[in-house]
Amino acid sequence: MRRELRSMVTAVICFLLVIVLNFLLPRLLPGNPLAYLTGVSEEGLTTVQEEYYVHALHLDEGLSRQFAHYLGSLLDGTLGYSFKKDAPVSSLIADRIWPTLKISVPSLLISSALGLVLGLSSGFATKRRTDSWLTPLMIVLNAVPSFLMALSLVLVFGFKLRLLPYAGLSSFAHLILPVTTLVLGMTPSRYLLVRNMVAVQAKERYVLYARQRGLSDRRIRYSYILGNIAGPFIMALGIGFGLAVSGSVVVENIFSINGMGKLLTEAVYTLDYPLVQGVLFVSTAIMAIAIILSDLAALAVNPKRRLENE
């Protein structure tokens, strides 16, 4: 119970930290906070405009009052205002959140399933052949930068073989390449996690006894060992989802998917600071929710953990 609780508390602290960071960044950095908050350079403003912005953004009030206004903008769901795009940040992000989820959720599920199945089989028998080629393969895969993976996939399947579309997200076929990129990037860490946990479990006595009772390897793996590693594995899913969302920044840019990651880079290029901060806020929120849900799920699958005090 303690471990799951601790992870949930950490997720909430992370979220609060990002909120404070978002508030302090434009105000404490050298330079006019107005430039950061509007994205318009000082020279481009007339005095009247400047006064208008200063008042609209409450910069003429004290820091604590400003923080209250800032929290208010988070609570009423606008997340600030993008002066560059002339729209509330939340509405800009709301349009872009689905494409990101559409590629990150399937890739998280597929990579976790792959990591679990492969990790169970090679961690159970670390001396056997599957482990001896699969683990090095995963280590090499882990060293491939995601942009290299994405570019090579586009090149081979999009340009040379002309099999799959590589721009946009208008059909199911459009999903294949971006999801494959993310899956190939995320599977190694999942696989290694499971493999190492299983390798520890395989040395335990209950495995030995199960073997002596003549149970099949498959039975031992899936109904004995899996139960014991399920908790930590599910907990890792939450963090994995956070990683998938940030990993999709690269993928969305290469595959021209109009998701949150692409929105983030566009906002950075156009110096739209409120939007940049909004994306950070939303992605941290998604991550925190995913972590809390996965911790709850880890407790749900293992009733014993709810009573244990470690």
Partner 1 sequence: MSRRKVLTVIGIVLLLGFAVMAAIPSAIAPYGQKEMFQSWLNPSPEHPLGTNRLGYDIMTEMIYGTRTTLVTGLLSSLISLALGAAVGALAAEEGFIGRMVDGLIDVMAMLPKLVVLIVLGSFIRGGGLSLIILISVFSWSSTARTVRARVIELKHSAFTENLRIEGFSDFHILVRHTIPNTSDILVSRFLLGLNSCIMMESTLSFLGFGDTFHPTWGTMVNMAYRNGAFIRQAYAYLLSPGICIMLLSLSFYFMSIHFSSRKEEVEEVI
Contact residue for partner 1 among 4, 18, 190, 195 (CB under 8 A): 18
Chain positions 235 to 254 lying near partner 1, rule: CB under 8 A, are 239, 242-243, 245-247, 249-250, 253-254
Binding status of residue 148 toward partner 1 by CB under 8 A: yes
Q: Tokens in use for 206?
A: 């209950």
Give the integer Cα–Cα distance in Å for 24 and 63: 10
Binding status of residue 277 toward partner 1 by CB under 8 A: yes
H/E element, 82: strand 81-82
Q: Tokens in use for 150?
A: 């994405």
- Nearest approach in angstroms of CB 83 to partner 1 is 16
- Per-residue binding string, partner 1, 76-105, x by CB under 8 A, is ------------------------------
Binding status of residue 154 toward partner 1 by CB under 8 A: yes
Q: Is 81 helix (H, G, I), strand (E, B) or coil?
A: strand
Q: Is the dihedral of CA 295, 298, 303, 307 positive or negative?
A: negative
Give the integer Cα–Cα distance in Å for 35 and 90: 20
Contact residue for partner 1 among 82, 100, 135, 283 (CB under 8 A): 283
Residue 193 neighbours by CB under 8 Å, 6+ apart: 115, 119, 232, 233, 236
Stretch that binds partner 1, among 10-18, 171-179, 206-214, 221-229 (CB under 8 A): 10-18
H/E element, 88: strand 87-88
Q: Tokens in use for 21?
A: 């960071």
Q: Which of 136, 20, 145 is nearest to 70 (CA)?
A: 20
- Nearest approach in angstroms of CB 282 to partner 1 is 10
Number of residues that bind partner 1 (CB under 8 A): 50
- Nearest approach in angstroms of CB 271 to partner 1 is 8
User: For binding to partner 1 (CB under 8 A), which residues are involved?
Assistant: 6-7, 10-11, 13-14, 17-18, 25-26, 29, 36, 139-140, 143-148, 151-152, 154-155, 159, 239, 242-243, 245-247, 249-250, 253-254, 264-265, 267-269, 271, 273, 276-277, 279-280, 283-284, 287, 291
